[in-house]
Chains A and B, each alone.
Chain A
Amino acid sequence: MSPFQVVDHTADIAVVIEGDNEEQLLREGTRVVFFLLTDSDPGRGRVQRTVKKRVKLEYRSFEELFIDFLNRLLSLADIYGLLPVGVAPKIKKNRAVITVRFIHAGPCQLTREIKAATHHNYSVERGPNGLLTKITFDV
């Protein structure tokens, strides 16, 4: 089963994402961004040269970090056409440095415009099997 699932939301798109821990949730969140923008999975398609960027974020809670990170990925896609294909997060208290590998979006590869990841009905639940969250993206 995929660690993320698109669920119904009238005007926008809601996604349920699971991860064993915070790092994995960030990885899965990255896949969700790729999937929503391109309607495909980053693991598929031809091998492409990647570029690395470091995303530095300060935060008060993991919930805040996660959504800020997704929004940063969306703005990088919008400005530079960069699509995230992998992440290496380093999370310290109140500060995260996340190294993200990107590919440049090919012609017509971007198929959907996402305005933002929102805080609507948003929380990160922690259970015995890890973390679970539902995020609504404004389309």
Chain B
Amino acid sequence: MMGMKKIGRSLYEISMEKGMRVPAYAFIDDTMAESGETLQALEQIKNVAWLPGVQQFVAAMPDVHYGYGFPIGGVCATDTRDGVISPGGVGYDINCGVRAIRTMLCAKDIDKRVWDLVTELYRRVPAGVGLKGSIRLSAREERRVVENGAGWAVAHGFGEDEDLLFCEDGGRLDGADYADVSETARERGREQLGTLGAGNHFIELSYVSDIFDDDTASLYGLFKGQIIVLFHTGSRGFGYQICDDYLKMMRKESRLELPDPQLVSVFIGHHLGKRYMSAMRAAANYAWANRQIITSLVREGFERVLKTSYRRLGMSVVYDVSHNIARLEYHEVEQERKLLCVHRKGATRAFGPGHQDVPEMYRSAGQPVLIPGDMGRASYIMKGTEGSMKKSFGTACHGAGRLLSRRKATKVAESRDIKGELEKLGVLVMSRSRRTLKEEMPEAYKDVSRIVDIVEQNDLARKVAKLVPIGVVKG
């Protein structure tokens, strides 16, 4: 039985155990605290507290669920001088993230065109397994992609410079060296740029059903009834291979004793630590280029169906967040400003007002925090807070979090017509795989509204707008 003490309305402190270097906190409610699934995931966050150089605390977000090594929905920060970097703390899909695009359209404007838009986006953005993009990269061009990220895509006609202002890190991390990427990873990346992938990746058309904070909504360019496009994807096979390559290399060289081999780590200053950071940044930049190209494909899809330019439709990027990444960030630790390596696996950065990394236009409010839910219920746009800087290294949740395993979900949905059920809810869905629809059905996830309430109760982020889906493209 795990020792845990309730220390807030929806905050638990996990008892220190042998091997843990710092305390572990879980932002969960009482029901979650009694769930076997959550407790399994919290065992994993305890393991994260073993990492050498870990600072202050480790934390589990309300959407935490069982992963491998790190739980999904976990955050930890290590000291850059004597701490480690762990590829398991980033995940296979490096810089998996979410982008939101606003429009000037209202739900009633596209009432009769939703199906056309969904089918056009499905046709235009390769989604599903084994589908290649329309871009074939030479080795030279692939190097430029990983060095320049979303900027490469804009320079090649996919979008506008302004889009980059609304991506975390401007859609590019410094220090990505193509030499640190294996030939296999390079091969996997060459034909997958501009593809959505499968599983929980999606494109969603939704409308703003509620505004919770008028001033911030206005700053983010949001209004009630507005059509928003939200999509979720990452670095595709390129990132998966980089993660696997470095886990393998680290396993051979690391002598650190950790409770789970998937947590394998090396010191940040170790030659493999430096090379992994470089390769991880390469994958992060690949993912940003990928989301930038998809942004352009989405705009083209709207233009084709609605027969007007995307500029006239007001299609601009609200924001782009990464939820699987390790970044070097300054945080205050025991009244000292320290450079830390913040690992966010299935967790979203939520920097508050005034932070220099928040785009100037949003700086007075805090950064947008994009929290997708499931296909049938809702998603949220939140804003970062000062509270999150102290309580979670500037981090909030990344989604609803799985409730049912894929196997259980498939069983529950066995004889059901998930597509038909969603249609009755007013959500039109195109998916390459019927099994994916079953695995990803709304009941397979926790209710995202409950998750964001817990985030808000703990002042990790605050609600700005609620989005309700009307059309979904799945792989």
A positions within 8 Å CB-CB of B: 6-13, 37, 39, 60, 64, 68, 71, 75, 77-79, 81, 105, 108-113, 115-116, 118-122, 136, 138-139
B160 close to chain A: CB less than 8 A:
no
Whether the pair B435, A10 counts as a contact (CB closer than 8 A) is: no
**Chain B neighbourhood of A12, CB < 8 A:** 67-68, 406
**A-B pairs with lowest CB-CB distance, top 3:** A120-B68, A110-B129, A113-B198
Complex formed: what's the CA distance from A120 to B264 in Å? 11
Contact of B188 with A119 in the complex, beta carbons under 8 Å: no
Complex contacts, B69 vs chain A, CB 8 Å: 118, 120
Whether B406 pairs with A115 at a CB distance below 8 angstroms is no
Residues of B within 8 A of A113 (CB): 129, 197-199, 475
Chain B hits for A119, CB < 8 A:
68, 247, 251, 261-262, 264
Which B residues contact A (CB, under 8 angstroms)? 37, 40-41, 65-69, 72, 91-93, 128-130, 184, 187-188, 197-199, 237, 240-241, 243-244, 247-248, 251-252, 260-262, 264, 402, 404-408, 432-433, 435-436, 475
A139 to B201, CA, bound (A): 11
**Given known A9-B66, A138-B68, contact A75–B188 (CB-CB < 8 A):** yes
Q: Which residue of the partner chain A has the closest CB to B191?
A: A79
The docked-state distance in angstroms from the alpha carbon of A8 to that of B407 is 6
A7: shortest Cβ distance to chain B, in Å? Answer: 8
Give chain B residues whose Cβ lies under 8 Å from the Cβ of A8: 405, 407-408
Complex contacts, A78 vs chain B, CB 8 Å? 130, 188, 237, 240
A79 contacts B130, C-beta separation under 8 Å: no
Residue contact A75 to B241, C-beta cutoff 8 Å: yes
Shortest A78–chain B CB gap in Å is 4
Give the number of residue pairs across the A-B interface with Cβ within 8 Å: 104
Closest to B239 in A: A115
How many angstroms from the CA of A121 to the CA of B337 in the assembled complex?
A: 37
Closest-by-CB residue of B relative to A60 is B252
Q: Is the interface of A mostly helix, strand, loop or mixed?
A: loop
**Known interface pairs A112-B433, A139-B199. Does A10 touch B68 (Cβ–Cβ under 8 Å)?**
no
- Do A115 and B72 contact each other (CB < 8 Å), given the known contacts A39-B435, A75-B184? no
Q: Given A39-B435, A68-B248, A122-B261: A111 and B68 within 8 A (CB)? A: no
Cβ 8 A contact of B68, one of A37, A112, A136: A136
- Please, which residues of chain B bring their CB within 8 A of the CB of A71? 244
Is the CB–CB distance between B67 and A11 below 8 Å?
yes
Min CB gap B420→A, angstroms: 20
Say yes or no: A111 contacts B261, CB within 8 Å: no
A79 pairs with B37, CB closer than 8 A: no
**Smallest Cβ-Cβ distance to A117: which chain B residue:** B244
Closest A residue by C-beta to B261: A119
